[in-house]
Amino acid sequence: MTDSDLDLIKAVQAESFLSKTGQQAFEVLVKRYQQPLFNFIYRYVGERSAAEDLAQEVFLRVWQAAPRFEARGKVSTWIFKIAYNLSMNEIKRRRRYQDFYKGFCDNMRAESLFPEQRGSRELEQDIMRALAQIPENQRAALLLRVNEDFSYNEISEILNVSPAAVESLIFRARTKLRELRIEN
């Protein structure tokens, strides 16, 4: 069995989950995308436990939808689109979302957002606070580009916008992050 994403999905489609081949193919997909998906969801949603739950839900949905997968695009794009949609639903579902991020924003310190002397944990928290201050669609586009290295076309498929809109979203996100760095 080869290990290209498409071959893995085809193996999952052709076999039942009870078969060893289907299980092995699915396990390879999970191992391949587990960390990148978690990272994207965590940075997008901003809560570790929710990101863990959503990442598991993504793989459940991948398993359930694998028989219907059509190779019109990359498997990775399809998987991240599922992650994006579930993350968006989670954000919409949470009533406390605005208060959660507002609390972070209100507690921003007056020191620089990205100082070189800070610890990695503290730096990660500062980055999460800054990301929380940019609009959701800008945050998603920026995270998919910077952290997951998706092309503008792939991001446009995931977010269901044009490639030009993706370029604009990323530009505005970077501009806003620079402004936040200057203001703090």
Overall average pLDDT of the 137-156 stretch: 91
pLDDT at 153: 94
Residues in the chain: 184
Place of tokens 């990660």: 124
Domain that holds residue 162: 95-184
Q: What SS3 class is residue 67? A: helix
Residues 12 and 101 occupy one common structural domain:
no
pLDDT tens digits for range 43-68? 998 889 999 999 999 999 998 888 88
Average pLDDT, the chain: 80
pLDDT at 94: 64
pLDDT tens digits for range 85-130? 999 888 877 644 455 344 444 444 333 344 444 455 676 777 788 8
Q: What is the domain-level CATH number for residue 31?
A: 1.10.1740.10
Q: What is the domain-level CATH number for residue 117?
A: 1.10.10.10
pLDDT tens digits for range 93-104? 764 445 534 444
- CB neighbour class for 75 (10 Å; exposed up to 12, middle 13-18, buried from 19): buried
Q: Which of 36, 69, 94 is the last residue of a domain?
A: 94
pLDDT tens digits for range 26-45? 899 999 999 999 999 999 98
Tell me which amino acid residue 62 is.
V
